[in-house]
């Protein structure tokens, strides 16, 4: 057989392969179950008390990408009508008063993985990236890495009610054992949380400061240079032991020791931490009511330059009391 015949056959095989690939992509674009994916995502989030709005969904060869995703926590449970609009992506949705201020995520890409079986997730958000993975073989393994997120990005200041700046970095790696329930149990998780954030600043805003037995005091926030937040918490069967947790900036310094007991839902996790606080003398004059609130705590017995407090309660309803 001549070389021309062999070349022609090679071209035919290549042409059929290219046609099959194009046909596969076109079929995927046309038949991809966008509505099913959107419904599942929005419904699962609603069960967790969140409102998720998805700008668009598009498939890729290895997964799905959602763009212009907005996540908020409504002050009240979503009505059936509002949930239906979120699922369909149609209609005029209520504003922030009903849905809450949203954190904006530019894009989220999700793809399956084979080794180990699970999902890989990558999001562009807050001017940085969030990379994560979930393994399904045996106990569920979850890993999330925050890289270069901007505290001032993605509408985060409006979501928190505070005007923030600085860079957020951290890694969370947990193994969640499977129990009798089909859902993984966060309260039995093993793993580690590390934090390494720099240049944190509160520029202003409003916040409810926990003071007393679960009571919070609404307060106008002055500018506070928080500085660097570094930490490491090790978890064993849901009990996190603080190995290091330190905030140090021009205006304030804080050290925390103790534990964080994870709940089945994150908001029900229970901190039990001794916190030492120290304000810069010049900052103390400028911070007004916030500084006065800190001075009600007694001096630490080992280092009287710090004020001694106790952080307890739950993450969604903390208490911040003088330490005895």
Q: For residue 99, what are the domain limits?
A: 30-111
**Has residue 31 got a pLDDT over 50?**
no
**Has residue 273 got a pLDDT over 70?**
yes
Q: pTM for this one?
A: 0.79
Rounded Cα distance, 51 and 82, in Å = 9
CB atoms within 10 A of CB 171: 17
Convert the pLDDT of each residue in 99-153 to its tens digit. 888 889 899 888 877 767 777 888 899 889 999 887 767 788 889 999 999 999 8
**Has residue 54 got a pLDDT over 70?**
yes
Domain identity same for 155 and 291? yes
Domain identity same for 183 and 125? yes
**Has residue 28 got a pLDDT over 50?**
no
Q: Is residue 84 part of a domain?
A: yes
Predicted local confidence at residue 30, as pLDDT = 45
Tokens of 260: 């964080």
Predicted local confidence at residue 212, as pLDDT = 54
Give all strands (DSSP E) within the chain, no chain letters: 51-59, 64-72, 102-114, 117-125, 128-135, 140-150, 162-176, 190-210, 216-220, 224-236, 239-248, 252-261, 270-279, 307-314, 317-322
Least Cα distance to 41 among 73, 71, 74 occurs for 71
Q: Which of 21-25, 81-85, 125-129, 287-291 has the lowest mean pLDDT?
A: 21-25
Domain finish residue from 83, 111, 139: 111
**Has residue 195 got a pLDDT over 50?**
yes
Domain identity same for 105 and 160? no
Segment 241-250 mean pLDDT: 96
Rounded Cα distance, 165 and 229, in Å = 13
Which one has a higher pLDDT value, 41 or 274? 274
Domain finish residue from 78, 96, 111: 111
Predicted local confidence at residue 155, as pLDDT = 84
Domain identity same for 49 and 167? no
Segment 14-19 mean pLDDT: 56
Convert the pLDDT of each residue in 198-222 to its tens digit. 999 998 887 766 655 555 667 777 8
* Range from 47-51, 76-80, 131-135, 311-315 that averages highest in pLDDT: 311-315
Q: Is residue 10 part of a domain?
A: no
Domain identity same for 80 and 182? no
**Residue 232's pLDDT band (cuts 50, 70, 90):** very high
Domain finish residue from 66, 83, 111: 111
Domain identity same for 103 and 127? no
Domain identity same for 286 and 195? yes
| 109 contact partners, CB below 8 Å, separation of at least 6 | 60, 63, 64, 65, 121, 122, 123
Q: Is residue 6 part of a domain?
A: no
Which one has a higher pLDDT value, 79 or 253? 253
Domain identity same for 240 and 319? yes
Convert the pLDDT of each residue in 282-320 to its tens digit. 888 888 877 887 888 999 999 999 999 999 999 888 888
> What percent of the chain lies above the pLDDT cut of 90?
32
**Residue 63's pLDDT band (cuts 50, 70, 90):** confident
> What percent of the chain lies above the pLDDT cut of 70?
82
Convert the pLDDT of each residue in 157-168 to its tens digit. 888 888 889 999
Predicted local confidence at residue 216, as pLDDT = 64
Q: Are 166 and 201 in contact (CB under 8 A)?
A: yes
Q: Are 283 and 251 in contact (CB under 8 A)?
A: yes
Q: Kindly report the average pLDDT of the chain as a whole number.
A: 82
Domain count, the chain: 2
Domain identity same for 271 and 205? yes
Q: Is residue 3 part of a domain?
A: no
């Amino acid at each position: 057989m001549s070389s021309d015949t062999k070349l022609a056959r090679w071209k035919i095989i290549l042409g059929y392969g290219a046609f099959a690939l194009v046909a596969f992509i076109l079929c995927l674009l046309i038949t991809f179950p966008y509505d099913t994916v959107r419904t599942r995502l929005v419904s699962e989030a609603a069960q967790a008390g969140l409102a998720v709005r998805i700008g668009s969904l598009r498939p890729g060869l290895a997964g799905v990408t959602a763009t212009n995703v907005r996540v908020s926590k409504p002050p009240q449970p979503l009505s059936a009508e509002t949930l239906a609009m979120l699922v369909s992506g149609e209609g005029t949705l209520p504003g922030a008063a009903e849905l809450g201020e949203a954190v904006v995520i530019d894009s989220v890409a999700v793809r399956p993985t084979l080794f180990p079986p699970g999902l890989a997730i990558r999001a562009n958000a807050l001017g940085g990236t969030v990379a994560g993975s979930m393994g399904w073989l045996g106990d569920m393994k979850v890993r999330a890495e925050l890289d270069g997120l901007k505290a001032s990005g993605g509408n985060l200041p409006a979501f928190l009610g505070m005007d923030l700046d600085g860079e957020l970095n951290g890694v969370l790696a947990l193994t969640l054992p499977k129990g009798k329930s089909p859902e993984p149990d966060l309260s039995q998780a093993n793993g580690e949380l590390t934090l390494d954030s720099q240049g944190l600043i509160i520029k202003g805003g409003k916040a409810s400061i926990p003071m007393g037995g679960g009571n919070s005091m609404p307060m106008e926030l002055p500018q506070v240079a928080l500085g660097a937040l570094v930490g490491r918490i090790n978890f064993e069967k849901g009990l996190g032991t603080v190995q290091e947790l330190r905030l140090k900036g021009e205006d304030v310094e804080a050290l925390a020791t103790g534990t964080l007991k994870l709940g089945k839902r994150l908001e029900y996790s229970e901190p039990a931490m001794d916190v030492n606080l120290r304000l810069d003398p010049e900052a103390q004059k400028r911070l007004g009511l916030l500084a006065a609130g800190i001075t009600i705590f007694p001096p630490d017995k080992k280092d009287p330059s710090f004020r001694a407090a106790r952080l307890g309660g739950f993450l969604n309803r903390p208490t911040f009391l003088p330490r005895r």
